Structures are given as C-alpha cells and as structure tokens.
Amino acid sequence: MDSRTIAFIIRRAIYAVFTLLILIVFIFVLIHVIAPNPISLAKIYSGVPHGSLTFYAAYAKTHGLDAPVYVQIFTYIINIFKGNFGIDPIKDQPVITLIGKYLPRTLEFVLTGIVISIILGLYTGAYAAARRRKPADNTVKGFYLATWSMPTFLLAAVLQLVIAYDLRLLPAINMVDPTLRAPPDVLAFPILNALWARDWPYLISLIHHMILPTLAIALLSFGIITRLTRSTMLDVMETDYFRLTLMKGVPRNKAIYSVALRNASIPLVTYIVLDLAFSVAGAVVIEEIFSYHGIGYYIVQAIYNLDYPAILGTTIIIALTIIVANLIADILYGVLDPRVRLE
Amino acid sequence: MLLSIKNLNVSYNTVAGKYKVIDNLNLDVEEGELVSLVGESASGKSTLGQVISRMLPPVGIATGEVTLDSVNILKLSEKEMTKLRGTTVFMIFQNPLNSLNPVKRVGTQLLEALFIRNERTRHQMTEDDARKEVIEAMTSLRLPDPEKIMLRYPHELSGGQVQRVVICMALLLRPKLLIADEPTTALDVTIQAQVIKLLRDLNKQTGLSIIFITHDIGLAYVLSNRMLVFYAGRVMELGKTTDLVKKPMHPYTSGLIASIPSAPKDSGRLYSIPGSPPSYLDLPNGCKFSPRCKFVFNKCLNEEPNAIVTNGREIRCWLYE
Amino acid sequence: MTDASLPAQMIRKEKVKKSNRLIEYIKLMIKDPSAILGLIIVVAFLGWSLIQGTLELFFGTTGPAIALLPHDPFSYNLPMHLHPPTLTYIFGTNTYGEDIWSRMLYAMPRDAFISILVVLSAILIGGILGVFAGYRGKFTDETVMRITDAFLSLPALVLVIALSVMFDETLSGVILALVIIWWPIYARFFRAQTLRIKNLDYVQAAKLNNVSFTRLFFRYLFMNSLDPIIAYAALDFGNVILTYSTLAFLGIGLEPPIPELGSMASNGVGTLPTGWWYAIFPGLAILVIVIGFVLVGDRMQDIISNRINY
Ligand SMILES: Nc1ncnc2c1ncn2[C@@H]1O[C@H](COP(=O)(O)OP(=O)(O)OP(=O)(O)O)[C@@H](O)[C@H]1O
Ligand SMILES: [Mg+2]
C-alpha cells in the first residue's frame, strides 16, 4: 500500500468520525425539539412513560437534564462514546448490553443473506447484461422486479406459509428450538458460540431456523444488486476499453467476466453498503414475521412499549454499523480503483 | 487478396429512424498495401473500419460480403470472429484516450496482447523475453522510460502516450491488416512523423497492410499507395494516391485538396468547400455531392451516377460518363 | 465574450430546446413495450387517485366518495367474512366481510398522495442543498456533504420508526419522517449535476449577463439538473409506497378505519393460511404499482443515458 492510499484511508476515517458527530447532534436536537423542558426530557431518557412529576424532576436533577444545552450535548456525546445509552426500563438492563446481545443475531443472518445475494446478483446481473434484450435478460428482469417490488413482509410471510407451514420443510418461527439449552455466550454470535462449545444439535437447530430469514433477506437485496450490476455492466460494455479488449482478440465471455465485471464492481461497492442499510431495515420486518429475536425484534418491542432509550440506542448503533461499513466501502473503492487514490 | 468487400451496405437502426450510412461499397486490398480513407466528418469512415473488424455497435447492420483472409466475416459467429481479431485484423479506434482498461497497469495490457499473439502462433516465450519485446516496441514509438510506463495506470499517462500505447499494442499483435482510425490526432508533429514513418517501415519489412483513416490529405499522401475518397458513405474516387492528389478528377476530391492549408494555389486564403455534408435522414436525390458541387448540371440532381473505371481510377461523377 | 447579444440568444435557445425535448421524450418513451405497460399502470394509478382522492377530500367516507366503488368499503357483513373471490367480490372479503377490491380502490389516493408528497419534498430540499453545495464548493460543499452522509447512514426504516414514534405516529409524523430520510440521496444527485453544469457556457453566459442569483439558482442550475433526477424519482415513488407499507405492517402511521394498501396487506398476513386473498391482492396491487414506476423510471434512465437504440 502506498502513501497515497494511506492518506486516502485516513481522510475517509476522519470523514466517518465527522459524520457520526453530526448524526449524534441531529438526534440530540431532535430529542430537544420534541422535549423542550427537563421534565419531558426526563420522560424520554428515563424510559418511564407514566411516572409522577416528582419522579421526573428528581430524574432530571440527577441526570443533569436541567443543565445548559451545551453542557448537555457534551455529556450526551461523551455518554455515547462510552457506550452509555441508558437503562432499558422494561428489561431493566443497560441498553448497550441488550444491543450487544441482539445485534449479532441479526448480523448473522443479514450478512449471510447479503453475501449470497451479492454473489448471485453479480453473476445474474452480468449474465443478463451479456444477453441484453434477449429472453434470458427479460426473465432475470422479471424475476428481480417481482422480488423487489413486493412488500418485504408479504414476501417473508408467503415464504413462511409455503415452505414452513404447507411443505413443512423448515421451522416457521423462532431462532432456535426453544427446548435446547443455549451454550455459554463467549463470542457474541450464537453460531460461533455453538461452534465454540461444540454443541452440534444447537448449531444445527440454529442453522435450520436461519435459512428462511436468510432467504428472505437474500431475495430482498438480490433485486437491487442484480439491477445495479446489470446497468453498470451495460455502461462498461459500451466503453472504448471494453471494445479494445475485444479487438485484441480476448473472447467475449472472458472480457465480460474479467474486464467488464471488474470495472463494474467499483461503483457497486458503494451501493452494496446502501443495500446493507436497506437490509437492516428489512430485517426488522423479517424478524417480526419469523419471531426471530434479533435487533429488529428488540426495536419493534421498544416501539410498542415507547421505550425511548432503546429506540435511540439502536438507531445510533445501527447508524454506526452503516458508517463503519461505508468506511470499509470507501477503502475498498480506493483499493479497487487506481484513479481514486489520485484525488 | 487480403480483403475484398463486395456490395457492402451498412445501416444504423436508431430511434430517429433507420438510415443507410454506407451504400453499395466495393473495395479490394492486397497484402502489403497501404490504403488511406479520406473524407469529411460523418462520411462513414469509422463505420467502414468497424465493419471490417466486425466491431459495429449492435444498432449497426451490415449486409454484403466482407472477405478477409478468404473468409466472409459477416457470416462468422462471434466465437469464430474472436480468433481473427487481434492477429488477423486489428483496429486502432478513433479517440484512444479511453481505450485502456483503467484498473490494469499499462504493462499488463500490453503483455496480454503479446500473449494473445504467441498463443495463436503457438510460440513459446519466457516472461523476460516478452517484457523485452514490449519494451522494444515501446521504444520504437518513442515512449520515454518504457519500464516506468509499464508500471503505470492509464490515467497516469498523457493523451499522446495513451495513443502510442494503443499503437504499440498493434505492433505486438502483428495483425495482417491494421485499421488505424486517425491514430495520430493527439500527437505533436515530430512524433506524428515518427509514427507515420514507423508504420511505413513496418509495411515494408513485414508486409503489413494498413487502412489509414484520416481527414488530413497531407498525411494520407505521405503514407499511402492508394487513396479512397469517401462522401456520404459512397466511394467518390479511388485510385493511386499520387495521381489522385496531383490530378483529382472528382469535384469533391479537388475541393478537399484545395482546402489543404499548404496548397500552393490561392496562397494566403484558405479555401473550403461551400455548404455542409447532408444528413443521412434526408439525402439529396441524385448525386449526393450535387448541392455543393461547382459543376452541377441537371442530370446530377435527378440521377445518382454509378462508379465507373477510367484511367485505372474508380470515380462516381456524371462529368466522366 | 464581446458580443452582448450572445448570452441572450443562448438563453432563448435553451427554452426552445426544452419544449421540443418533452415531445421527443414522450415519443421515445412509447417506443418500448415495457415502458408503455409501466405508463399505463402509472397513469391509471395516478388518474384514479386524483378522481377518487378529490371525492374523498370533499365527502369523506360516505355518499359520492364511495359512489364509484363496486361496494361500500366500510359495510360490515359478518356472515360474508373472509369470503374467497367471487364474481361479486372479485378479490374476496376481509375478516369483517368488507369488499377488498372496493377498499383497495378507496385506499389508492392515500398511497399516491404520500409518495408524491415525500418525493417532491425530498427533491426540493435535496435540490436546494445539493445545488448550493455544488455551486459554492469548498467549505459549504464539505459541510453539506458530511450532513448528507450522516443522514444517509441512518437506516431508513429504523429512523422512520424512531421519528414517527416521537411525532406521535400520526400520518403527518410519518410523512415528515420519510422526508427527513428521503432528501439526502437527492442532495447527492443535485450536487453531482451542478458540478457538471456550473461551468457550461450557458450558465457562465447567464452569470455574465447579470442574471439574478435566485434565477440563476433555480432556472439554470436546479432546473437543468433535473433530467436524470426525474428518472430516479419516477422509480422512487414506488420505494416510498414500499417503505410506507412496511411501516403500516409495524403498526405505525395509519388511522385504523381508513384503508391503505400496505396496512390492508399487513392486516391480511395473519389470515394468510385461511384466506390468502386478504393479504395477497393488496400486496399484488403494491407490486404492480411499484413495477409500473420502475418500468417508467428505467426507460427514462435509458433515454437519458442514450441507451435507447438497442
Ligand atoms: N452508434 C451509432 N449509432 C447511430 N448512428 C451512428 C453510430 N455511429 C455512427 N453513426 C452515424 O453514422 C455516420 C457515419 O459515422 P462515422 O463515425 O463512420 O463517420 P466518420 O467518417 O468516421 O466521421 P469522423 O471523421 O467525424 O470520425 C454519422 O452520421 C453518424 O452519426
Ligand atoms: Mg470516425
């Protein structure tokens, strides 16, 4: 890696920190717009929706909610960087602990689903682009239009109905067979925990339960990735350098899957991160349908219970995940595209 | 005969409508010949080059017969054509600025070309020898510091350097027929002369045939044995370069020659043919050049002349019928 | 530029080109069968929404507002509950025995209204910020783009949920929340476009001609950036409808008796095993509408990037 690439990465990292700060300030401002005085602030931060006035007043005092705004924003930022998102009043545990428990479960199937859809989507997108306007192209287009344009919950519900209830191929709900005892939580991710403890029945049950949600996520982002791949591939296939590659005598298929796909993958990196954000949102719905207890389930519970600390905490943590993913994408972009390093 | 084109018609099927860009073209190119293709912008020069290398965009439709190395390439499948591209026919596209793959080093792309040739000729070559040959080819094109340039990415080169890298690719592939579509536009005069000389030497030494596309008659004069004057997708005049330039017969050819800045007559005043080329969607009825022709008479407006051969020259004009 | 009349000429030329281009555009649109299909869907959906929406606006849930529908969408008919599709009830009935097709028709204006409002507001906000950032450059640009990045990294759905809960879950709260997450992508588009066109001749000419800043901003930069953005926006209407339907599934942003396609489909999810039609038909309606928008948007994209020919 040359010095230019490193400088590029450092600048992107600084951008990421700025982005996070702006985000936190936005959320802070938002809370203060909704709750302009210490009492209503206490109502939000304490997570107790129907407390007494004296309780809120006391809470505001102990948590410095009556301090000047600039002090408050400072404390808020410090708290967030310390991972202090408050206490979840319903589960009576720190929000950060609960996120640490639920987020890995979601990432497990969301990342698997995305990886599957990237591999498939890149391939089908390139395949369709290579056969533009031919029946194969139209079939691919029809398929991704259908999976993409269907509301996520309906897609998941239909999958569940057909595969789990009608055909009885896979379990319909839950993350794991509830009769099994969970192995000790060492590595945060349930699958890794099961592997660590060599608890095979538990592992198999986990994977069994994971297939349908993963499939739903994969179908959800498959459309986006295929469509983007197809259109960027078409752009590349019209460039002079692609034509010169053919002119040299490189077989068309080789040119498509090496030169064109390689160049098309550069802009795709950014989109795949957007897709991650999109899929996390999809996970909320999918977890609800499959009663899969991940971060989405936690968010939905928080919404039903008007549990503000949980809502704010998850929003920030997920945004942070996306920012980090964005940073990785930027770096990848720099590695993939020699032109970026010039900037 | 290396290349023989018979009754070639090319149309573009666009949203604006379908229009014919090349009309009933016939052309033979012998091995070792240097043919230049001149004509104003949009006369269909690049289109012809793309037909011969079968690189027309999907909207372009070519009918007729293009026999290259004794096969009709218009009838070949994409797979069979791939085997001819590169080593039998190679085209340097116009505007080579974006012709190199932005994510691969220049050296890799040049080596790739060399490997394709070696593979086709079943020639074994060590990595080192290949590198040496690439560097040699680059040196012959006056590319400074070839080793360094090989390690660079295309965006780190100047336009003229990219152009020479693409020409270098042609040298490495050693095609039988090279189509060079205005290959020297981004080069300064000294290097341009160098490249032209190199192409001529190659032709002498290896018998490489070249179709040289340009709108600079001066360049065409220096380089080619035969010249083909193109107007609205039709051959207006075709003959030995020296004859054609010294004694142009077709009014269009004379017009073109008169507009060369260094032409001796009318010194000081720059001549240009009045009017502008017609739109393919709305071509004039008779001779396509008639609206701009000094010698136009009635017949020109109603009937299109056929190509006839006089004095070893092919010409399409009513003046000579 | 010595000739004072030159910029004025250029300005006029721009105008002529615009109106011609619209006709040209429409001609190109209807040359592609799938784009025609998309146009039919979109025009039918928007046209129906306009008519029915006007009626609903003035008459609420009774009288003329339901005159065009095959059945009263609000008439409980418990003996007929969850009845499969028949000739009278072409899409069957829901758990209350209400006609699903009538309720879908009644629901459409709401989806049209929400998507149009969200996308247009996002274009306006994103456009102003994006053009401003692109035009001013330097520090302004950096600041606006970092803010945009921050918003882009918010997972759309999670923020909408968070915001709409805070804004008391009313329809306007949801719309506001949707707008807040919808503008950044447009800001990026507009900025990129502005960077591209701000140095073009006619913009420079307008500047030399002392065109006022607001005019320069809106007529020259904003309006001329619009082309590729409209193509994306066309497809984006569908995205809003999808996101909104997801919110409806999570029980956010709807006033219960009033039907909306997303909420109808999500209410039906519970009865999928016994009455598939309850969820499937409203879901299919969403699917068809979204596909319609995508087909139109795709074709526009093709026209703009000159990929129309083949
Ligand atoms: N891909 C295409 N689609 C539609 N029309 C095309 C396409 N390529 C070329 N044409 C049209 O064909 C005609 C001939 O173009 P061509 O590029 O062959 O001209 P040329 O003689 O090479 O001109 P120049 O000297 O400017 O390079 C032009 O009218 C051009 O508009
Ligand atoms: Mg040309």
Helices A261-289 and C223-249, interaxial angle, to 10°? 30
In this structure, the answer to whether residues A184 and A51 fall within a common structural domain is no
| Sole residue written with tokens 């009845």 | C83
- Tokens matching residue B108: 């890799």
Atom 29, ligand 1: which residue's CA is nearest? B42
pLDDT in tens, A179-199: 888 888 888 888 898 999 998
DSSP-derived 3-state class of residue C211: coil
Sheet holding B3-14, edge to edge: B17-29, B3-14, B60-68, B71-72
Q: How far is CA C38 from CA A4, A223, B103, C299, in A?
A: 47, 18, 38, 9
**DSSP, residue by residue, B185-224:** TTS-HHHHHHHHHHHHHHHHHH--EEEEE-S-HHHHHHH-
Pick from B53, B58, B101: CB nearest A247: B53
* Residue C92: band (very low, low, confident or very high) from pLDDT cuts 50, 70, 90: confident
* pLDDT at site C307: 63
Q: How many domains does chain C have?
A: 1
Beta-carbon separation of A248 and B53 below 8 A: no
Partners of B22 in the beta sheet? B10
pLDDT in tens, A103-119: 999 999 999 999 999 99
CB distance B20 to ligand 1 below 6 Å: no
CB pairs under 8 A between A and B: 78
Residue type, position A294, single letter: G
Q: How far is ligand 1, taken at its centre, from the CA of residue C103, in Å?
A: 56
In this structure, the answer to whether residues A111 and A156 fall within a common structural domain is yes
Any idea what DSSP says for residue B8? E
Q: How many CB atoms lie within 10 A of CB B199?
A: 22
Candidate of B21, B36, B182 to mutate for ligand 1, largest count of ligand atoms within 8 Å of Cβ: B21
Q: Which of A76, A63, A66 is nearest to A29 (CA)?
A: A76
| Sole residue written with tokens 């336009």 | B159
* pLDDT at site C15: 43
In this structure, the answer to whether residues A153 and A110 fall within a common structural domain is yes
Lowest mean pLDDT among B138-147, B271-280, C239-248: B271-280
Atom 27, ligand 1: which residue's CA is nearest? B41
Q: How far is CA A61 from CA A49, A51, A77, A262, C265, in A?
A: 18, 15, 19, 59, 47
Residue C193 lies inside a defined structural domain of this protein: yes
Q: What angle do CA B208, B210, B215 make, to 5 degrees?
A: 160
List CB contacts of B109: < 8 A, sequence separation 6 or more. B100, B101, B165, B169
In this structure, the answer to whether residues A155 and A83 fall within a common structural domain is no
Q: How far is CA C53 from CA A320, B36, C64, C293, in A?
A: 41, 69, 11, 20
Any idea what DSSP says for residue C179? H
Helix H or strand E encompassing B96: none
Assess contact for C29 and C234: CB atoms under 8 A: no
For chain C, what is the mean pLDDT? 80
Residue C28 lies inside a defined structural domain of this protein: yes
Checking if the pLDDT of B238 tops 70, the result is yes
* pLDDT at site C7: 36
Q: What φ, ψ does residue C308 adopt, rounded to 5°?
A: -75, -30
The ligand that comes nearest to the alpha carbon of residue B23 is 1
Which of the two residues, C23 and C106, has the higher pLDDT score? C106
* Residue C213: band (very low, low, confident or very high) from pLDDT cuts 50, 70, 90: confident
Lowest mean pLDDT among A200-204, B155-159, B236-240, C113-117: B155-159
* pLDDT at site A299: 85
Checking if the pLDDT of A158 tops 70, the result is yes
* pLDDT at site C11: 38
Helices C138-152 and C100-136, interaxial angle, to 10°? 150
Residue type, position C286, single letter: I
What number is the average pLDDT over the span C263-280? Answer: 85
Give the percent of chain B with pLDDT over 90.
39
Residue A330 lies inside a defined structural domain of this protein: no
Chains that touch A (3 or more CB pairs under 8 A): B, C
Residue A218 lies inside a defined structural domain of this protein: yes
In this structure, the answer to whether residues A58 and A102 fall within a common structural domain is no
Residue A340 lies inside a defined structural domain of this protein: no
The bridge status of strand B17-29 relative to strand B3-14 is antiparallel
Residue type, position B277, single letter: P
**Burial of B74: CB neighbours in 10 Å, binned 0-12, 13-18, 19+:** middle
Name the CA dihedral angle for A248, A252, A256, A259, rounded to a multiple of 10 degrees.
-10
Checking if the pLDDT of C310 tops 50, the result is no
In this structure, the answer to whether residues A18 and A103 fall within a common structural domain is no
* Residue A214: band (very low, low, confident or very high) from pLDDT cuts 50, 70, 90: very high
CA A39 to chain centre: 34
Residue C112 lies inside a defined structural domain of this protein: yes
* pLDDT at site A64: 78
What number is the average pLDDT over the span C58-62? Answer: 77
Given A41, A70, A93, the domain boundary residue is A93
Chain B CB within 8 Å of residue C13 CB:
no
Q: Give C181→chain B minimum CA distance, Å.
A: 35
* pLDDT at site C292: 94
Q: Give B83→chain A minimum CA distance, Å.
A: 6
Q: What φ, ψ does residue B92 adopt, rounded to 5°?
A: -90, 115
In chain A, whose CA is at the least distance from the CA of C238?
A149
Sign of CA dihedral A89, A90, A92, A98: negative
Q: What distance in Å separates the CA atoms of residue B266 and residue B246, rounded to the nearest whole number?
A: 16
Assess contact for A27 and A311: CB atoms under 8 A: no
In this structure, the answer to whether residues A79 and A112 fall within a common structural domain is no
What number is the average pLDDT over the span B37-61? Answer: 90
Checking if the pLDDT of C246 tops 50, the result is yes
The CATH number of whichever domain residue A294 belongs to comes to 1.10.3720.10
- Which residues of B sit within 8 Å Cβ distance of A? 53, 55, 57-58, 78-79, 82-87, 90-91, 93, 95-103, 112-113, 116, 120, 153-155, 166, 169, 173
* Residue B15: band (very low, low, confident or very high) from pLDDT cuts 50, 70, 90: low
In this structure, the answer to whether residues A61 and A123 fall within a common structural domain is no
Q: What φ, ψ does residue B207 adopt, rounded to 5°?
A: 75, 20
- Tokens matching residue A73: 């924003």
Checking if the pLDDT of A332 tops 60, the result is yes
What number is the average pLDDT over the span C75-82? Answer: 75
Q: How many CB atoms lie within 10 A of CB B236?
A: 27
* pLDDT at site B130: 93
Give the percent of chain C with pLDDT over 90.
17
Checking if the pLDDT of C63 tops 80, the result is no
Residue C126 lies inside a defined structural domain of this protein: yes
Residue A297 lies inside a defined structural domain of this protein: yes
Beta-carbon separation of A151 and C155 below 8 A: no
Pick from C162, C252, C272: CB nearest A315: C162
CB distance B47 to ligand 1 below 6 Å: yes
The ligand that comes nearest to the alpha carbon of residue B230 is 1
Q: What distance in Å separates the CA atoms of residue C2 and residue C247, rounded to the nearest whole number?
A: 59
For chain A, what is the mean pLDDT? 85
CB distance B215 to ligand 1 below 6 Å: yes
Checking if the pLDDT of B54 tops 70, the result is yes
Q: Give B103→chain A minimum CA distance, Å.
A: 6
* Residue B269: band (very low, low, confident or very high) from pLDDT cuts 50, 70, 90: low
pLDDT in tens, B208-236: 999 999 988 888 888 889 999 999 889 99
Helices C276-304 and C100-136, interaxial angle, to 10°? 30
Assess contact for B95 and B213: CB atoms under 8 A: no
Residues 41-100 of B with CB under 8 A from C: 57-59
Q: What distance in Å separates the CA atoms of residue C62 and residue C52, rounded to the nearest whole number?
A: 12
Which of the two residues, C15 and B264, has the higher pLDDT score? B264
Residue A338 lies inside a defined structural domain of this protein: no
Q: Which of A251, A323, A320, A342 is nearest to A85 (CA)?
A: A320
Task: Give this prediction's pTM.
Answer: 0.83
Given A61, A93, A125, the domain boundary residue is A93
Atom 7, ligand 1: which residue's CA is nearest? B12
- Tokens matching residue B107: 């050296």
Buried b / exposed e along A243-279 (16+ C-beta atoms within 10 A): bbbbbbbbebeebbeebbbebbbbbbbebbbbbbbbb
Q: Give A221→chain C minimum CA distance, Å.
A: 13
Lowest mean pLDDT among B11-15, B112-116, B265-269, C175-179: B265-269
Q: Which of B14, B31, B18 is nearest to B204 (CA)?
A: B31
What number is the average pLDDT over the span C99-117? Answer: 90
Pick from A30, A145, A151: CB nearest C286: A151
Q: How many domains does chain A have?
A: 2
Range of the domain at C220: 3-60+93-304
List CB contacts of C47: < 8 A, sequence separation 6 or more. none
Q: What distance in Å separates the CA atoms of residue B114 and residue B171, rounded to the nearest whole number?
A: 9
In this structure, the answer to whether residues A79 and A101 fall within a common structural domain is no
Which of the two residues, A330 and B316, has the higher pLDDT score? B316
Name the CA dihedral angle for B52, B55, B57, B58, rounded to a multiple of 10 degrees.
90
Residue C140 lies inside a defined structural domain of this protein: yes
- Tokens matching residue B38: 């001149």
In this structure, the answer to whether residues A271 and A294 fall within a common structural domain is yes
* pLDDT at site A14: 87
Beta-carbon separation of C305 and A149 below 8 A: no
* pLDDT at site A209: 93
Partners of A87 in the beta sheet? A94
The CATH number of whichever domain residue C122 belongs to comes to 1.10.3720.10
Q: What angle do CA B57, B58, B63 make, to 5 degrees?
A: 90
Predicted ipTM beyond 0.85: yes
Checking if the pLDDT of A138 tops 70, the result is yes
Partners of B18 in the beta sheet? B13
Residue C78 lies inside a defined structural domain of this protein: no
Checking if the pLDDT of B263 tops 80, the result is no
List CB contacts of B98: < 8 A, sequence separation 6 or more. A239, A240, A241
* Residue B83: band (very low, low, confident or very high) from pLDDT cuts 50, 70, 90: very high
Which of the two residues, A45 and A244, has the higher pLDDT score? A244
Residues of B in contact with C31 (CB under 8 A): 15
In this structure, the answer to whether residues A142 and A47 fall within a common structural domain is no
What number is the average pLDDT over the span B291-300? Answer: 84
List CB contacts of C205: < 8 A, sequence separation 6 or more. C1, C6, C7, C10, C11
Q: What distance in Å separates the CA atoms of residue C279 and residue C92, rounded to the nearest whole number?
A: 11
The bridge status of strand B17-29 relative to strand B177-181 is unpaired
Residue C161 lies inside a defined structural domain of this protein: yes
DSSP-derived 3-state class of residue C309: coil
Any idea what DSSP says for residue C93? B
- Tokens matching residue C1: 């530029």
Checking if the pLDDT of C13 tops 70, the result is no
Which residues are placed with Cβ below 5 angstroms of ligand 2, an ion?
A: B 46, 94
**Burial of B290: CB neighbours in 10 Å, binned 0-12, 13-18, 19+:** buried
Q: What φ, ψ does residue C152 adopt, rounded to 5°?
A: -65, -25
Cα first-last separation, chain C = 41
Q: How many CB atoms lie within 10 A of CB B274?
A: 10
- Please give the domain boundaries of chain B with CATH numbers for all domains: 3-261+272-278 (3.40.50.300)
* Residue A280: band (very low, low, confident or very high) from pLDDT cuts 50, 70, 90: confident
The ligand that comes nearest to the alpha carbon of residue B181 is 2
Q: What distance in Å separates the CA atoms of residue A259 and residue A252, rounded to the nearest whole number?
A: 10
Beta-carbon separation of A251 and B102 below 8 A: no
Q: How many CB atoms lie within 10 A of CB C179?
A: 19
Range of the domain at A60: 3-93
In this structure, the answer to whether residues A256 and A158 fall within a common structural domain is yes
What number is the average pLDDT over the span C239-244? Answer: 89
CB distance B41 to ligand 1 below 6 Å: yes
**Burial of C225: CB neighbours in 10 Å, binned 0-12, 13-18, 19+:** buried
Any idea what DSSP says for residue B279? P
Residue A21 lies inside a defined structural domain of this protein: yes
What number is the average pLDDT over the span A257-267? Answer: 88
Checking if the pLDDT of B177 tops 90, the result is yes
Which of the two residues, B262 and A279, has the higher pLDDT score? A279
* Residue A207: band (very low, low, confident or very high) from pLDDT cuts 50, 70, 90: very high
Q: Give A184→chain C minimum CA distance, Å.
A: 30
Residue C87 lies inside a defined structural domain of this protein: no
Residue A217 lies inside a defined structural domain of this protein: yes
